Each structure stands twice: as C-alpha cells, then as structure tokens.
Amino acid sequence: MLAHLPHLRRHPIAVIAAAVLVVVAGFVLWRVILANGGDQRPMMPAQVVVAPAGPVLFIDSIEAIGTARANESVMLTAKVTDTVRRINVADGAVVEKGDILVELTNDEESALLAEAKANLTEAEQQYARISDLVSRGSYSRARLDEQTAARNAARAKVEAIAARLKDRLIRAPFAGVLGFRQVSPGTLVQPNTPIISIDDIDIIKLEFALPEIYLGALRPGLEVIARSAAYENREFVGRVTGIDSRVDPATRTVTVRAEIDNPDHLLRAGMLLTVMVIRERADRLAVPEEAVIPVQDRQFVYVIKGGVAHQRDVVIGRRQPGYVEIIKGLKVGEIVAIEGIVRLFDGAPVTVQAARPAADVAS
C-alpha cells in the first residue's frame, strides 16, 4: 500500500507513524472481539500430590563400628598334671555356674582322702576322750594341747587332699555357653593346658571408638542402637556404660563401651556391628524432602489452599532420610505439594490428585 504513496516513501517518520496506527487498530479490534465473546481458553489446573506439614521424630546420633564381646569370657585350663577321665558336656552347650564340665583321673586322691578322713575321725575321738579326762583331773592340760594339735593337723590334711580332688573337676565359673573342647577322654593335661572356653553372652559388651570431638556429648546412660549384617531387619538396643579414661594419641579416638541384653543369644562375641549413639530424640515440624525447592541461597515450598498454590519461603534445619525440618515458614497441618511441582507458580490453580496421610509423615 505504501508503495503507491510516493510522498510517504520520501518521509520515513510518516512511514513509522502509519505502522503504529495499524498495530493500535489491530489491538483495539482484538479487544472488541474478546468483549463480544471471542475464544477464551482458561488455564488448566496443575495435578499435584500433597502432604501435611507435621511432627517427625528426628534422631541426633553418632555413628561408629563396634565389636561385640562377651560379658564374661574365659578359657578353662588344667591346674594339675593328669589324664582326662570324663567329659560331661557337648560343644556349644549352655551351662550353669558350678556345673562339672570335665573330670580328671582322681583315684589316688580319692584313696588318700578316705585315709585322711579316717585319721581325722580317730583324732577327734582321742581329743574327746582326753578332754574328758582332763576335766576330771586325770590328764594334764599339756596332753590336751598335744591332741588338739594332732586333730587340727588331721583336719588340715583332709582339706588339702579335698582341694587336690577339686582341682581335678573342671567346673563352669559362671553361667554361659561353651565353645569347642580342646581335649578328649584319655588326654594327658598339664597346668595351663586349654580345655574348653565359656562365654557369658546373656549380656553383650559392645566396644567402639569415637573421635575425641564427641567427648563432650558422651555420658553413661546414652541409648545405643546396634545392627548386624547377619540380622538385617533387627535392632539391638543398649546403653553406654563406660568411657575410657584415655584418648588414643595415634588415632585421636576414645573407646566407648555399651551393654546390650542378649537373652536369645543372637549376638556372639567377636561380631562386627554398626552402632548409633543416640544423643537426642525430638519431634520436629517437617515435610517430605521433595516438597522443598532450593533456589540459590533460599528454599521455598508450595502451600496448597483453596485450590491455589502459594509460594512460601521457608527456613530448613536438619535432614533425615525422606524428611526436612522446617524451622520457619510453615505451621502444623498446612498442606504442601510434593509431586507435580514443576508446573506450579505462585497463584497457580491446582487439583489435588492424591494426598499422603499424616500417619505416613510422622515417624
């Protein structure tokens, strides 16, 4: 059209003015069409999954690797030189304190004990007779003293031989579980010859090392949770019972000991366990971690209310698997979006597709 207007081609300002008039006219025409019921397409609501902000149990813990040890443990050995006469228990048996586990040959000692008891009986009879005569004035006091010494010597000999017999009976010093025996009937044993081990594992002592920086947070009584690769879904709960008085200068760690009740004997001495020392348990306001959106140095969530998404800044705290603590910005019970977030903006219309129950949020 402008090509047929030679006078406009010679004046650029006039050309620009004409173009502006065309654009303005087009815009006015478009508004008129809309005002008269033109095509208006409303924005489709975003589909979201939501969850309530609520209390979640947060655990402040220190993690370590520990070794299980028996509450009491000993390798029983022989005290005398003799041969094994009888073995009364099986490998791995559970025994009580005082049970006779192994007997050594004791024929000679048994005979000597019988003789010593007979001599003691005679000495006591002589003492009674002489004591009666002394009371009547027939014997001197010195004679009674001599017989008293003889009686005491006979009694001491009985006790000495009885002790030698006792050394030939290997007893359980405490209730526990036996290991594998190291001898068989007929084996000649000598003092300190290993015979069989016994462990008290009703209680397990768990020892582990922690960096010295945690010394200020450690104290007896703290809860300990231990796990073993042998029992993947099992937790063993105990308490810290002691903290070593020294820090290892090479590793800068301190050894900590805890005790765990082990009535079913699932834990064995020597097992490797992962350990969590619980410093604090507390319910804190939190949301699922997928609800929090980081942008540079700030975080925000989308609060869903009345079918509309409202962007809200929050201050986060601790994290634990699946959840983020909210220090500031939310209240208990407020609903936040956890899925479908990529389509949201402040003021976006939403449709709640699904809601995660509050019971799934709180630990």
| pLDDT per residue as tens digits for the range 88-143 | 999 999 999 999 999 999 888 888 888 888 988 988 898 888 888 888 877 777 88
Kind plus residue range of the DSSP H or E element containing 135:
helix 107-136
Q: What 3-state class would DSSP assign to 134?
A: helix
The CA distance from 347 to 334, in Å, is: 16
Query: What is the Cα–Cα distance from 313 to 268, expressed in whole angstroms?
Result: 51
Q: Which residues pair with 77 in a beta bridge?
A: 194
Can you name the CATH fold of 47-57+283-360? 2.40.420
Domain map of the chain by residue range? 2-35, 47-57+283-360, 62-70+196-282, 106-167
pLDDT of residue 250 exceeding 70, the answer is yes
pTM value is 0.66
Would you state the CATH architecture of domain 106-167?
Orthogonal Bundle (1.10)
Percent of the chain exceeding pLDDT 90 equals: 64
Match 């005290």 to its residue by tokens: 79
Render 316-332 in DSSP notation, one character per residue.
EEEEETTEEEEEES--T
The residue whose two tokens read 């947060």 is 58
**311 burial class (0-12, 13-18, 19+ CB within 10 angstroms)?**
middle
Condensed to tens digits (0 to 9), the pLDDT of residues 183-216 reads 999 999 999 999 999 999 999 999 999 999 999 9
Q: What is the pLDDT of residue 17?
A: 52
Q: Are strands 46-52 and 223-228 parallel, antiparallel or unpaired?
A: unpaired
| pLDDT over threshold 80, residue 55 | yes
Any idea which of 29-33, 162-166, 191-195, 256-260 has the lowest mean pLDDT?
29-33
- Residues 6 or more apart whose Cβ sits within 8 Å of residue 352: 48, 49, 50, 304
What is the pLDDT averaged over residues 252-270? Answer: 97
Tell me the one-letter amino acid at 15: V
Tens digit of each residue's pLDDT (9 = 90 or more) over 157-184 = 888 888 888 889 999 999 999 999 999 9
* Topology (CATH level 3) of domain 62-70+196-282: Elongation Factor Tu (Ef-tu); domain 3 (2.40.30)
Contacts of 143 (CB under 8 A, 6+ apart): 130, 134
